[in-house]
């Protein structure tokens, strides 16, 4: 079965802390994505990656960075967490050259106090 695993379902952090959200997929997919989801705003793309060590900014990259050192792993980093980054974060993957079925992880709900 296809699987995208996010390391933490729930996190609580303090303002200014560095936060790592990890995502691993076992499908050998080339493309991986990080979205954040907030009520009424849908899913907004933060960053995506189409290959190891490659990354592209999405629509809301400010305050975030990403790392893709291995094909199966895509990490989202908040260098200095702020309260407006309190959100649900969703990782997803898809085979290269395909814009059809995204496979999502279960999500990581981050609260920044």
Q: Is 106 near other proteins (CB under 8 A)?
A: yes
Contact 58, 7 (CB under 8 A): no
Judged by beta carbon, residue 16 or residue 96, the one nearer other proteins is: 96
Among 15, 20, 41, 65, binds other proteins (CB under 8 A): 41
Q: Is 42 in the site for other proteins (CB under 8 A)?
A: yes
3-state secondary structure of 84: helix
User: Could you tell me whether strands 87-94 and 31-38 are parallel, antiparallel, or unpaired per DSSP bridges?
Assistant: antiparallel
Report whether 89 contacts 43 (CB < 8 A).
no
CA distance 86 to 12: 9
By the 8 A CB rule, do 5 and 90 touch? Answer: no
* Residue 58 Cβ vs other proteins, minimum distance, rounded to whole Å: 7
Task: Between 73 and 103, name the residue whose CB sits nearer to other proteins.
Answer: 103
Size of the site for other proteins (CB under 8 A): 26
What is the binding site for other proteins (CB under 8 A)? 31, 33, 35, 40-45, 48, 50, 56, 58-59, 90, 92, 94, 99-107
């Amino acid at each position: 079965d296809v699987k995208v695993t996010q390391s933490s379902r729930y996190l609580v952090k303090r303002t200014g802390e560095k936060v790592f959200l990890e995502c691993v997929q076992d499908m050998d997919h080339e493309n991986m994505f990080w979205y954040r989801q907030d009520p009424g705003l849908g899913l907004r793309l933060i960053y995506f990656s189409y290959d190891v060590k490659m990354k592209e900014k999405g629509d809301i990259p400010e305050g975030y960075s990403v790392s893709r050192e291995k094909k199966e792993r895509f990490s989202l980093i908040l260098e200095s967490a702020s309260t407006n980054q309190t959100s649900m974060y969703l990782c997803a993957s898809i085979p290269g050259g395909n814009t059809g079925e995204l496979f999502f992880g279960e999500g990581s709900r981050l609260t920044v106090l």
